[in-house]
Structures are given as C-alpha cells and as structure tokens.
Structure 1
Amino acid sequence: MSTYSKELEVAELAVQRAALLTKKVFNEKAKGTISKDDKSPVTIGDFGAQALIIQAIKKNFPDDEVVGEEEASTLRQDHKLRDEIWALVEGTKLTDADAEKVLGGPIENVDAMLNAIDAGNSAGGSKGRIWALDPIDGTKGFLRGGQYAVCLALMVDGDVKVGVLGCPNLPVDDAAPLAADAGVGQTDSEGKGVLFSAVLGQGATSRSLGTAGLAKSQPIHMKPVKDITQATFCESVEAGHSSHGDQSAIATKLNISKPSVRMDSQAKYASIARGAGDIYLRLPVSATYQEKIWDHAAGDLIVREAGGQVTDSLGRRLDFSKGRTLAENKGVVAAPAAVHSQVLAVVMEVLYKK
C-alpha cells in the first residue's frame, strides 16, 4: 500500500505556509471582509490561503482535482482587493529553502494567483484523486478572535487518505485541557499553533506550527472515557451550524453536567483527537442543509486515526464521494470508539423520537 508520504509532506508544508498568511491577517484589525451569496463572510486570508495551497498541489500533482471553498470572480472585478491579496501571497513563504522547493516555489504573478484560486472548482465525486480544501474554516471565529483552521484532505475514489489541519490558536501542548473560553479571545502567541496530520492506517500526529520546515511530530490519541458523565463536549459557536438545544438535551440524558466548549472550525475535531475534549456533536438544524466536504474531511480522518469513531446522527460513516457536500449524511457524531455507540443511541433518541 502506498504510504502517501509525498502527499503528506506537501499537504503539511502547504498548510503551514498558508497558516503563516492567515496569521498575518488575523493580527490586523481590518481583514478585508466581504460577504458571499449565502451571506457567509470571506476574508483576504481565505483567498490568499487557497491560492498558496492549490498552487502547491498543482505543482506537485498536476492531474489532481481540488474542491475549494472560494472562487476568484470578485477579485477579477475588484482590483484593489485583488492587489491586497497579491501583496499577502507574494510576501508569504517558508524560511526553509528546501521546504519552499517541495512546494514548488512562489506563485509567479497575479494572474497565476487568480487561476490557482479558481482551480478549486472540482465537482468532487467517487472517482480519482480529489483534494478538499477549506482555506479558513471558521471564518466567523477568525473574525471575532476565536478558533479557526486551515484544512486540507486528499480523497482517492471517495475515501479520505490524508488529512491535515493547521490550528494557529490552539495550544501546542497536547496535554493542555480544553478551556471553556477556548472559542473566544484567542491569540496566536508563543506556545500556540498546531499542525495535526493523519494518513489512513498510519495513525495521527501533532506538531507545532512553524515558519520553516516541519517540526518534530508526536502521535496523538483520543482520551479513554472511563466515566461518560465527566466527558467534555465540543460544539459549534453558531446556533445556525448545530442545534444547541438538542446538544443540551443529549448532555442531560448522558448525565454530563460540564458546560459544552463552543468553538469554531475543525479545531473541534483536532481537540478531541488529542484528548483535550471527548465528544464533538454537530446536530442538524435543517432537514435540507447539506454539510460541505471541506468542513469535515481532514478532521474525520484525524479523529478516526486517533482512535475515534465518526458517523452522522443516524450512525452512517461520512460519505465524501457524493460531490461537494455530504449529501447522504445528517449531522456529525465524533467520540472515542468505546463510547461512540452509547453517545449515538442518545443522539438518535433525542433527534428522532421527539
């Protein structure tokens, strides 16, 4: 079996370089925010990070497709915004020459940047090599100073093989407990910034985010939950993303009294994968809403490789082969494998036996 070693190295370095760009924007008061058609925000950091990552993928794997969240039509019309993003992209590189060489070097010019952003237009599907990319997952958290993540995953014939998450505002220490205020008032100061990775069948790791080559990694594992009443739940900050009321009812039925830790982005997957939290629920708020594959692909693999189980609210594995969305799934239930069935049973009781 292929180890996907090259894919992993490119993905880790690409996410690390993109995270450098997002950190520059995070620390600015004005983040160049615009609204998309669905009213969700996008920043100059989203565009810049997408350009850097897709350029690295296309340099190394030119025939691979990319399902990316952003597209460049707005930038082709708004030259001021375009030039602002180009300045960011042009000025972001790793300080290690060998690492930059792996990524294929800098983007040549503005047009190449726009074309890279637009190369994230794959329809997805069940055949071939397709990368799922969210350049800034949790843009609202990014804007309010909370958690966010740079997310990249490789799917081969619809199955996730490689997953990488860059979480600039999580503590480097895997043993650090998940604070109740982890989703607000965060910084990317010293001691913060983690790169999480996994390859199918090879376990999951964490390492500190750096500015050059890759730092030394260590394996991560979900924490055994000996007493589920003492478990820590993670959930979305936005009530529009996950039903807080159902989450509370599930916690009550499991006799969990700790308040849930609310944070944006796939930082929730990363947090439970290394044992800082225990259970992540993303509960359906609409019968018609379909989750986007870029919001879950990397985190799903990292949690499973760390000893967890990830299904939807009906117990089905997340299916990344149906296009740009998880069209066959409803919600997400992620927990240590030993207690997942117990959590899922209560989730189904609350959601489907009302």
Structure 2
Amino acid sequence: MSSYAKELEVAQLAVQRAAILTKRVFHEKAKGTVSKDDKSPVTIGDFGAQALIISALKANFPEDEIVAEEEAAQLKEDSNLRQTIWELVKTTSLEDEAAEKVLGGAIKSEDDLLTMIDYGNSKGGAKGRIWAIDPIDGTKGFLRGGQYAVCLALMVDGDVKVGVLGCPNLPVDDAAPLTAGQESGQTDEGMGCLFSGVLSEGATSRPLTTGALSKEKSISMKAIKDIAAATFCESVEAGHSAHGDQAEIAKKLGITNPSVRMDSQAKYASIARGAGDIYLRLPVSATYQEKIWDHAAGDLIVREAGGVVTDIKGNRLDFTVGRTLANNKGVVAAPAAAHPKVLEVVKEVLGQK
C-alpha cells in the first residue's frame, strides 16, 4: 500500500476530471482560436480546471495549502465569464460520478467557484503540505490542438511526494515514438494519458478515461546505449528555452535526430516513458524564475522512472523557496547513466557564452 495512497487517488481523479473539462473546452470553444485574451478558451479552461482540482483537494485535505497559477479577481468583475465557467464546472462534475464519490467537494454556486480558485494563493515554502497546480500548462499547445498538460504535485516540507500529469493529446501507447506531428491537429482516438509518480514507489501511465481510473502500467526511461542516437525534447517557444544553445549541445553530443518541440510538461512525461530521451530547458533570461507548478510533477515522475533532473549547474530542483525555482536556472533531464555526459556538455556550451 502506498504511503500516499489517498493523496495519489484524489490527485489522479482530480486531474483526470480537469482534463475532461479542458477537452470539452477545446472541442466546444477553442478551434481556430489563437490568442489568450480575457475570454479565450484558455481562460475558461484554466479557471474551470483549477476550481475542480482545488475543490477535490479541499474536500479531502482541508488543512493543506495550495499554490496555483490563477486568481479569481477577473471573474469577480466579469459576470458573463464567471457564469460560463460555473456552468462548465457544474456539468463536468455531474457527469463524472465515479470521481465525485471520492472527490466530493461539489462546487454548488458561483461564489463557491470564486472561493475555490482563490485557495490557490499560498506563497509556498519549505514547511508543511503544499499542492502545486497548473490547470493548463502549455497555452499555445492547447489552442493548436497540440500538447498541453494538467499538472498537480504534493510537496511535503519542500520535497515532492506525489506528482500527476494529465496529457490529453499524448498517445496512449507508451512505445509510440516522439514525432513533430504530435504537436498539432489531434483527434481523441488513441490519445490521452495520465502519468503518476510517488516518491520511492515508481512511475506509471494509464489511459485517460471519463469514469473510473483505468489500469496502470509501470514506466521507465529508455537506456541510452549510444547517446548519438538519442532524441531531444525542447519547448516550442524560443522565448521559453534557448534553441540555439540546445542545437550546439546536440552537435557536441553527436546527436543527429531532429529535436522534438512540444509544449508543457508533456516533455517530462514523454522521456519518463522512453518515448524520448533528454529534455533541456535552457535559460533565455538572467532574471526569469521558473514557476514551481511548471516542474514539480514532471520532476518527480522522471526521477521515479529512472532519470535524473537537475538545473544547468547540476543542482536538484529546489521547491522550498516559494512559488518559483529561485535557486535554479534551467532544466537538464536525462536517464541516470547519460545525465553526467549531457550536463558536462551543457556546462561547456553555456560556459563559452
């Protein structure tokens, strides 16, 4: 029995239910949308997914703190947007009876909706039980029908204990290789995975469903026999990760496979199950600080799948200092045996600048 069995079950069902909501938003509202304005599908999906997850956490773990991306100030000023999200949340909860029995915490009014969203205002830190939520990680991926993730992690005294990623547009087949085509134009057929990890207990994947949790499978990173044959994952946006530096690192490692660019923590999930090998997120700004909700779940899942995750200096990601990774720069994630070589080349390339 997992030492965090209840936390894991609640997190999995909450993320799955939030993923169902985001898929509904995409199919009903997002096709053809390209911007994140105030009434965009991303706004609707972000608020709705965050409300559903927080209501489940508060019903089951009322004393826990929550760090989440969104706050309800905008909804308090916009009654039409608030009502749209409330109707979406209400409908999704009613249709998901299997989750509702475990999750409870029904949102019964628009006021409940606002309250739940604003519970995500914890400042984080090194003490106590703190959940980190990113309701839609990968804004542009979501809008284009490409990769995005619903992300949830539990930290206890700054250490990530449970991580769950819902990736609605990743193939169910763990062995499916990464391709650039996975970044746009998705259908639902054969797509949608729920990834989980518990500290010292391994990592799993299972197909996303609309009811009870489906059967899980253990996942592990692929052993890299020849690093030159490895596949890189990197961000789609050049503003998120330095593509030029990554190309130079690949060259020095002898890697000739084109890098696969995708949004969100789907990159962590992909390398954790061996569909890709190495994930680099290299700094593009001296002052930018990564948000903890963009990395906590993926960091744990990769480590539990046999990988190593550090920053560009070789330090573990530090989730104890608030809402950001203020003590880290960049991310280097790779199988344990390959990580030292990858990190050595990262330091070499970035040290030349």
- Asked whether the two chains share a fold, i.e. TM above 0.5, the reply is yes
Q: CA RMSD in A?
A: 1.7
Is the 2:29–2:41 Cα contact (8 Å) retained in structure 1? Answer: no
Please give the alpha-carbon distance, in whole angstroms, between the structure 2 residues aligned to 1:227 and 1:34.
42
Q: Counterpart of 1:82? A: 82
Q: How does 1:203-352 map to 2 (within 5 A)?
A: 203-352=202-351
SS in 2 for 1:28: helix
Check whether the contact 2:17–2:99 (CA below 8 A) recurs between aligned residues. no
From the superposition, tell whether residues 250 and 41 of structure 1 become closer, same or farther in structure 2 (CA, over 3 Å).
farther
Alpha-carbon shift at residue 17 of structure 1 (Å): 0.4
What code does the residue aligned with 2:75 have? L
1:83-232 equivalences in 2 (<5 Å):
83-93=83-93, 97-187=97-187, 189-232=188-231
| Letter aligned with residue 308 of structure 2 | Q
> Quick one: distance in 1 between partners of 2:242 and 2:94?
40
Q: Which runs of 4+ in 1 moved over 6 A?
A: none
Aligned length: 350
The Cα shift of 1:105 comes to 4.8
Please state how far the C-alpha of 1:18 moved relative to its aligned partner. Answer: 0.4
Q: Normalized against structure 1, the TM-score is what? A: 0.96
* Cα distance in 2 between the residues matched to 1:275 and 1:62: 37
**C-alpha contact (below 8 Å) 2:249/2:346 kept by paired residues:** yes
Q: Give the residue type in structure 2 aligned to 1:26.
A: F
| Aligned residue in 2 for 1:24 | 24
1:308-334 deviations in Å (ceiling 9; x for gaps): 000000100000001000000000000
**Per-residue Cα deviation, 1:279-306 (whole angstroms, up to 9, x for no partner):** 0000000010000000000000000000
Q: Distance in 2 between matches of 1:291 and 1:41?
A: 24
- Deviation track 1:17-71 (CA, whole Å, cap 9, x = no partner) reads 00010000111344896548xxx99420000000000000000000000000001
Kindly provide the CA deviation profile for residues 171-214 of structure 1, in whole angstroms up to 9, marking residues without a partner as x. 00101111122222223x12100000000000000000001110
| SS of alignment partner, residue 28 of structure 2 | coil
Contact 2:308–2:335 (CA under 8 A) maintained in structure 1: yes
Equivalent residue number for residue 8 of structure 2: 8
User: C-alpha separation between the residues in 2 aligned to 1:263 and 1:96?
Assistant: 30
Query: Alpha-carbon deviation of 1:137?
Result: 0.3
Counterpart-to-counterpart distance in 2, 1:96 and 1:218: 23
CA contact (8 A) 1:48 1:88 kept: yes
Q: SS where residue 289 of structure 1 aligns?
A: coil
Give CA-to-partner distance per residue, 1:191-239, whole Å, 9 cap, x none: 1000000000000000000011100001000000001001000000000
Give secondary structure in 1 for the equivalent of 2:337.
Answer: helix
Q: What is the deviation of 1:98?
A: 4.4
| Identical-residue share of aligned pairs (%) | 75
CA distance in 2, matches of 1:245, 1:221: 29
The change in CA–CA distance for 1:146 and 1:2 in structure 2 (over 3 A counts) is: closer
Once the 2 structures are TM-superposed, how far is the Cα of residue 144 of structure 1 from its aligned partner? 1.7
- Structure 1 unaligned spans of 5+: none
Classify the secondary structure of the residue corresponding to 1:115.
helix
